[in-house]
Structure 1
């Protein structure tokens, strides 16, 4: 039995890409216990994230992808805590648009297992929203953290640079909809959903082509 739990923080700021800027609210997920945690997506507000971590050891800052609204606060949180920033190598070009003078500290790759508070999170490479997008499956918690790959109601956006709709559909079909249907989907923005709740709509997403 795992002693880890999932904590949720919402931070607000902007997302900028392809000469556009939008106001966004982001989900920051903290997985761990009273002693050590892992942050999934250090979005916007390093101070708020540091307060949420408190005096616990921060084992890693895991980036589901490198859009600026998901990685903007990562270097500052790392500087405050000494935690490494982890990002899939295929998103380094996007990362450099936000942090040209600071590289991530380590890679994420498909099948890698990250551990915190006795709980394993399995890295799933799910390109489409970005080339290096990943999800993190925590079987013991019955959860998957999907960043902007899968939301309540469908896939993440693929209408901007570095994205591709057929690729995100392949990722969702092959890596996410194969998880147990009761798995809770913790997304990068907005409400939770479940694998079972989204699976019946796969063909609808394909037909709509969004």
Structure 2
């Protein structure tokens, strides 16, 4: 089955079945956030990326197996609005970037530094700190040994540009530099991007537009 990565609030999740991990994507309101559930196929352990909203939708996605952990990509409230309820219901441990953890009102069990590894069963995700949208945003990289790389970028990279830096030239320069050096310069064009809102993309689709983004300043 194909995976288009297009979901709507109130609609079903889209599921991508890789050799070692299943990735489920669901949209939740009121700000059309994406939440992602990763399930290790060898162990059935699960990890949720961004308990954004609609706890009942998230718990239905998680199912009876529960989750071992939940990662918050950054401190903005639309990415953690259902975090407390999700943690209370599942007992999951929490991860967030060290420099954003203070802005998340649910305690972070494991603060994440650039380059740290987060595991879900036998699957390893590498965290990269991307500074500009917030001080401690993290992207999560899964290097599939059976295929191409997959990156969960939060609000740092979307189809058509990097995340909002609120017309701050310094923040824009920082985020664009981090996205270029830590993602575009290190990963191939086939790398699949799963953003915090909206449709998915690939690095190859976005790479030709880097200079355009630099010139427009957003």
TM-score between the two structures when normalised by the length of structure 1: 0.87
Which ranges of 4 or more aligned residues in structure 1 deviate by more than 4 Å? none
Q: Which residue of 2 aligns with 1:9?
A: 26
Is the contact made by 1:4 and 1:117 (CA closer than 8 Å) also made in structure 2? no
CA distance in 1, matches of 2:61, 2:167: 32
Alignment check: 8 A CA contact 1:4 1:118 kept: no
Partner of 1:209: 217
Query: Matches of 1:169 and 1:36 in 2, distance apart?
Result: 34
Match of 2:103 in 1: 94
Q: Which residue among 31, 38, 48 is the counterpart of 1:31? A: 38
2:195 matched to which residue of 1? 187
Q: Distance in 1 between matches of 2:47 and 2:102?
A: 24
| In the alignment, structure 1 residue 136 sits paired with structure 2 residue 134 | no
- For 1:157, the equivalent position in structure 2 comes to 164
More helix by share: 1
**Rounded Cα–Cα distance in structure 1 between residues aligned with 2:103 and 2:214:** 26
Deviation of 1:127 (Å): 1.2
Which whole-Å CA distance do the structure 1 matches of 2:19 and 2:140 have between them? 16
State the shift of 1:57 in Å: 3.7
Tell me which of 66, 69, 78 is aligned to 2:75: 66
CA distance in 2, matches of 1:88, 1:170: 18
Residue 106 of structure 1, CA deviation: 1.6
1:76-104 residue CA offsets vs partner (Å, 9 max, x unmatched): 10111010111112113432xxx2xx422
Distance across 2 between alignment mates of 1:164 and 1:47? 35
CA-atom RMSD in angstroms: 1.8
| Aligned residue pair count | 194
- 1:86-142 CA distances to partner (integer Å, 9 max, x unpaired)? 1112113432xxx2xx42222111111112142211111111110000000001162
How far the C-alpha of 1:2 sits from its partner, in A, is 4.1
Whether the 8 Å CA contact 1:126–1:172 is kept in 2: the answer is yes
| Kept after mapping to 2: 8 A contact 1:75/1:85 | no
Q: Cα gap change, 1:103/1:197 in structure 2, threshold over 3 Å: closer, same or farther?
A: same
**Greater per-residue strand proportion:** 1
Cα distance in 1 for partners of 2:126, 2:56 equals 28
TM-score (norm 2): 0.84
